[in-house]
């Protein structure tokens, strides 16, 4: 239906942020062949980098706990790299930036008028629901991608397992849903 694809942070996490792994490297391949254009927002970029920081903290904690064993196995370089949080985070962020560059990602401008998002919030319209009232990052990203689609006379796939994001999509478009990158 369209070559434009917006990927929810949760889907990147499910792919383990493995930019050279099977799923995400396929996106790079499709982008290079002109079959796919990745859409990103500043919200998604910020969420990915924030989650990379959280995962790095978890890895650091685990490595610190097991550093003696890891060093005996010759992994002292990896142990030292993870301990240097600033450098490690820079390396992870640079890998994500390179992924965005290699997919020739389109940076979708964020909406400037949030009235529609607030209307959806108070009416509990997707991506908001009774259980998930604080979905402003998703709502801003979805509203931004929807507006971009309208302005560019196009449509986009929304990749997410989030049922509230699925509800933002329809068979009529401009947003179509798919649950996974695969």
159: nearest Cα among 136, 142, 139, 144: 142
- Other C-beta atoms within 10 Å of 67: how many? 16
pLDDT at 64 over 90: no
Task: Quote the CA–CA distance of 94 and 100 in Å, as a whole number.
Answer: 10
pLDDT at 128 over 90: no
**pLDDT, average across residues 65-80:** 80
**Would you state the pLDDT for residue 86?**
87
Stronger pLDDT, 132 or 129, i.e. the higher one: 129
**Would you state the pLDDT for residue 75?**
80
**Would you state the pLDDT for residue 121?**
81
pLDDT at 152 over 90: yes
pTM for this entry: 0.85
161: nearest Cα among 14, 4, 42: 14
Ranges of beta strands (E only) in 100-171 are 106-107, 156-159
Q: What is the mean pLDDT of the chain?
A: 91
- Band of residue 133 on the pLDDT scale cut at 50, 70, 90: low
């Amino acid at each position: 239906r369209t070559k434009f694809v917006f990927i929810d942070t949760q889907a990147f996490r499910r792919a383990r942020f493995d930019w050279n792994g099977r799923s995400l490297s396929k996106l790079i391949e499709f982008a290079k062949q002109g079959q796919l254009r990745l859409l990103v927002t500043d919200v998604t970029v910020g969420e990915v980098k924030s989650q990379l920081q959280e995962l790095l903290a978890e890895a650091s904690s685990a490595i610190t706990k097991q550093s003696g064993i890891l060093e005996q196995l010759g992994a002292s370089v990896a142990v030292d790299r993870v301990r240097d949080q600033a450098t490690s985070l820079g390396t992870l962020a640079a890998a994500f930036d390179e992924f965005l560059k290699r997919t020739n990602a389109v940076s979708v401008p964020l909406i400037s008028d949030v009235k529609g998002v607030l209307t959806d919030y108070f009416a509990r319209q997707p991506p908001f629901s009774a259980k998930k009232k604080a979905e402003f990052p998703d709502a801003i990203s979805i509203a931004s991608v929807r507006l971009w689609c309208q302005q560019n006379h196009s449509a986009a796939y929304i990749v997410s397992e989030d049922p509230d994001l699925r509800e933002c999509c329809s068979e009529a478009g401009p947003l179509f849903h798919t649950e996974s990158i695969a």
